[in-house]
Structure 1
Amino acid sequence: MRIAVGGFQHETNTFAPSKADFAAFAQADSWPALQRGPTLLGAFTGMNIPVAGFIAAAQAAGHELVPLVWCSATPSAHVTEDAFERVMRMMLEELSDAGNLDAVYLDLHGAMVCEHFDDGEGEILARVRKAVGDKIPIVASLDLHANVTGKMIANSDALVAYRTYPHVDMAETGAKAAAHLDAIFGGLPRQAKALRKIDYLIPLTAQCTLTEPAAHLYHELGNYDGVVLGNGRVSTISFTTGFPPADFKDCGPSVIAYGDTEAAASEAADKIAAQVLASESRFREKLWHAREAVAYAIAGSAASGGPIVLADTQDNPGAGGNGDTVGVLAELLAQNAQRAALGVLFDPEAAAQAAEAGEGARLRLKLGAKTGGADEQPIDAEFEVVKITDGEFLATGPFYGGSHMSLGTTARLRNGGVEVVVASRKAQCADQQMLHHIGIDPANLAILVVKSSVHFRADFGPLAREVLVVESPGPNIADLTKLPYKHLRKGIRVMPEGEAFAG
């Protein structure tokens, strides 16, 4: 079969300080740069990313793939109107030139909000549907954090979401989307759809599928794959926990089910939704203030068994933070932490100054806190330049594994017993190579601070003696009651078992 393949990925934090312009999608960062046309099919080989899994599975099945456009940008505030329209213009031009197609596959996130409308993926799917007509199947993969909308459901034949957070099954999810298309080509009837919106928001750090209650809920999903319920078979079912810092009416968790009959899809969706609702009280966790977290980590730093890891979740570049707040770093320095490191701080200016000074130099820097992501001042201190790199390396962990990462000019700086990895491009610290490539072995640290919420657990989790989730300055607010929501749907609970949004 001839299948068009494309993707347009962005996770939008509407409270973040900076927007995603076209340049953010065009550049390489944690993932490849914008791909258009034939280069797309070879750009993702071996990567843990949905489009890579789809391409490998579809080619193995003998299908002819027609490349469109694929791009992604680091999570931030809204996608600019210019960026969205330029990418969609490219995608629709490629579709127009594609000739006869049997299907379309799209690698989407599911939580894109644009300057000119809230439902980015709904608009992408609607425009592609209009271009190819009602008879061509459209299947898309989604991130586990998708904020699913009715428009997304209406303009696609199936949406298949990840089942792990950290997202170690991204490529696997792309392969599942390919398998669903193969089932359609093999005679699977047009599937009935069921969407159930859950009436409470789940903080990102509580969504981790390595811990309860998410671990059990995602295990339960597997019990419904291919199951016959009543008079029909369930083909696929997903539970998306949502991306909570997105202030629009469809924000929040969802259950999506597809089946041969409306009754089968509805029964599966209802049963999983009931379990999600029953688990509400368990989706809460302790948040540490930076001062107490650092003090606790220092007190335990003499013990063996790997570092205590502090997750600087509110400045996570993977959730809209700029990666340059300094609340935790200030505490490390103030409390004279030893064998401690922080990664990765986004500060192109400081990285350039360190590179100019050269390895072995000592210089006074105003470090971090330059993008306005929090109400704080840069750290004004003297640092030793330990090492400089170009920030180019191959990621090897379960999340970023296979990706050729590009952090730009990167500096390893030291002040006393504290080291900081300072990069020229934003990326959440979710792969050990982000430290190894500049000479830091995280296994030998007593304290490790990562600007990440959960993805770090895939590669750093096995090293960690303990993990503390830290509430330090940044736009990815962990306690959702502190976000100034204005546009959520009336009645949704802003935190598990919390007060309902009044509208």
Structure 2
Amino acid sequence: MARIGVLGFLHETNTFAPDVTGLDRFEEADAWPGLTEGEAILEATRDMNLAISGFISAMHSAGHEIVPLLWCSANPSGPVADAAFETIVARIETHLRDQPLDGLFLDLHGSMVTQRLDDAEGELLRRLRAITGPALPYVAALDFHAIVTRVMVDLTQAMVAYHSYPHVDMADTGVRAARMMQRLLAGESFFADWRKLDFLVSMPWQSTLGDAPASALMAEARALETADCPEVQFIPGFPLSDTPESGPSILAYARVPARATHAVQTLARAVEARRTSFSGRLYAPDEALDALTDRASGCVILADTQDNPGGGGSGDTTGLLRALLDRSAGPACVAVLCDAAFARAAHEQGVGARIDLPLGGRGYPGDEPATGPFDILALGDGRFVGTGPFYKGCRMDLGLMARVRRDGVEVLISSRKQQAADQAMFHHLGADPRHYRVLVLKSSVHFRADFAALADDILMIKAPGANTADLRDLTFRRLRPGVEIH
């Protein structure tokens, strides 16, 4: 039996977002647990679709002892405050110094940027290696949008990234990490090969569902895997990180260097051949509503992708909501808009009351609130369990919530931002997403896992928000030369 340390430190950093991510954002719970240390991690992450959950379960089943150190995450947002990074890393170092270990599992995102660090995960690994030395097996789980760096590859024995977007396989990725850890503990070693690609893929076009290019590439990666080359990965990266290392990566591990190199070269050629296929149409709000006028029935999802909290959006922009209200385009529902003050006031007034306060429109420069009055239809404490494929088992804590309506348009309101990717968010407030003609979901791709089956059509909307969908709207200043922006 081996003693395996486990830790998690996750943040997807949108360097174009106007906010700075402080320690409080890691301490508070949202869809995932807040900052948790020691044995409490086991219960806090149990049975969730998280890499750490899958890893712990698999290693327990194999008879190994789990030594939980620290786990935390914060919703995607602007650069992490240096003070927050230092505080969390210092706590991890303290836990690590106290524990004799045979291996270490790290649940990471892979695209964390702080106020002064472009490669925060690389710096974390450097700090931990200074304590454990280079020989201790490190296996990391990475997000589908990770920005892989040479430091990350060199300081781990293996890294495994999610295969899917929506990320329905996060727990399964933890199981894959456990398999790699067990092979390392048994004395096997793996050679890594990797390649950075010189273009950026916008978030809405990274989906692995249906006939999207990433779907075929994931199938090609799986076809290259063998017992001696167990991991071949296409990792599209996070395009809203303006750093020299940004862009997709190809990563492979094999018992023989030549096999890893062959897999990387083969998959890289396949990705390059589809480079121009990562694209789609973006609709302005009025353009999308015009397209709905001739529809007699059926449900249409309008993905408010640029205000996706899962990509650094504030979760409170109102461009699309105001367009709906101007046209009284109901029955429609907008989910989930973050406005803690409005939610608190709604709870003070109660169900059945009419509330005349400005709603949202404060978190993104140039936006403005939606105006009332709104009828209060339902209230909730924001605590419920995710039921969809992405947030399955997640014990949500979104603060006070409310469902309000004006002119046939309903809005689900939370006190903590979270992308609308689970029908449980509707059910918590007594709403059924099947009953609306228009669903406005503040999400880019994750919503598809639990909502796509309800829709006759899905349109990507270009409304205000920090999760920029057309990368040509941004000014990149720090990308390495030669990186193409589509």
Tell me which interval the TM-score lies in, with the shorter structure as reference length: over 0.9
Q: How many residues align?
A: 484
2:123 counterpart letter in structure 1: E
Q: 2 CA distance for matches of 1:204 and 1:446?
A: 26
The Cα shift of 1:281 comes to 1.4
Report what 1:13 is aligned to: 14
Report what 1:297 is aligned to: 292
Pick the aligned partner of 1:271 from 266, 270, 281. 266
Matched, 1:384 2:375: yes
**SS of equivalent to 2:39:** helix
TM-score scaled by length of structure 1:
0.95
The Cα shift of 1:238 comes to 1.4
Matched, 1:208 2:207: yes
Structure 2 unaligned spans of 5+: none
The Cα shift of 1:380 comes to 2.0
The Cα shift of 1:405 comes to 0.5
1:139 counterpart letter in structure 2: V
TM-score scaled by length of structure 2:
0.98
Deviations 1:123-167 (A, max 9, x none): 111111221111111000000000111111111111100000000
Q: 2 CA distance for matches of 1:415 and 1:298?
A: 20
Q: 2 CA distance for matches of 1:28 and 1:388?
A: 20
Q: 1 CA distance for matches of 2:124 and 2:294?
A: 51
Percent identity for Structure 1 against Structure 2: 44
Deviations 1:341-398 (A, max 9, x none): 0000011111111111111111211111112x14121112211011111111111000
Pick the aligned partner of 1:350 from 325, 342, 348. 342
Q: 1 CA distance for matches of 2:331 and 2:226?
A: 51
**SS of equivalent to 1:113:** coil
Q: 2 CA distance for matches of 1:42 and 1:362?
A: 41
Task: Give 4+ residue runs of structure 1 displaced > 2 Å after superposition.
Answer: none
The Cα shift of 1:181 comes to 0.7
Report what 2:125 is aligned to: 125
Q: 2 CA distance for matches of 1:160 and 1:296?
A: 41
Deviations 1:460-496 (A, max 9, x none): 011111110001000111110111110001000011x
The Cα shift of 1:46 comes to 1.1
1:200 counterpart letter in structure 2: F
2:276 counterpart letter in structure 1: S
1:365 counterpart letter in structure 2: L
Matched, 1:448 2:442: no
**SS of equivalent to 1:490:** coil
Q: 2 CA distance for matches of 1:25 and 1:71?
A: 6
The Cα shift of 1:226 comes to 1.8
Return 178-187 or 267-276, whichever deviates more.
Answer: 178-187
Contact 1:294 1:328 (8 Å CA) reproduced: no
Q: 1 CA distance for matches of 2:377 and 2:53?
A: 37
Deviations 1:5-27 (A, max 9, x none): 00100000001121211110011
**SS of equivalent to 1:239:** strand
**SS of equivalent to 2:372:** strand
Q: 2 CA distance for matches of 1:384 and 1:360?
A: 7
Deviations 1:387-437 (A, max 9, x none): 111111111000001011011111111001100011110000000011111
Pick the aligned partner of 2:237 from 242, 248, 267. 242
**SS of equivalent to 1:484:** coil
Q: 2 CA distance for matches of 1:253 and 1:470?
A: 24
Pick the aligned partner of 1:423 from 378, 403, 414. 414
Deviations 1:48-76 (A, max 9, x none): 00000000000000001111100000000
Q: 2 CA distance for matches of 1:19 and 1:266?
A: 39
Report what 1:106 is aligned to: 106
Q: 2 CA distance for matches of 1:319 and 1:239?
A: 20
Q: 2 CA distance for matches of 1:131 and 1:467?
A: 50
The Cα shift of 1:297 comes to 2.8
Structure 1 unaligned spans of 5+: 228-232, 496-503
The Cα shift of 1:298 comes to 4.2
Q: Aligned-pair RMSD on alpha carbons? A: 1.0
Matched, 1:321 2:313: yes
**SS of equivalent to 1:139:** strand
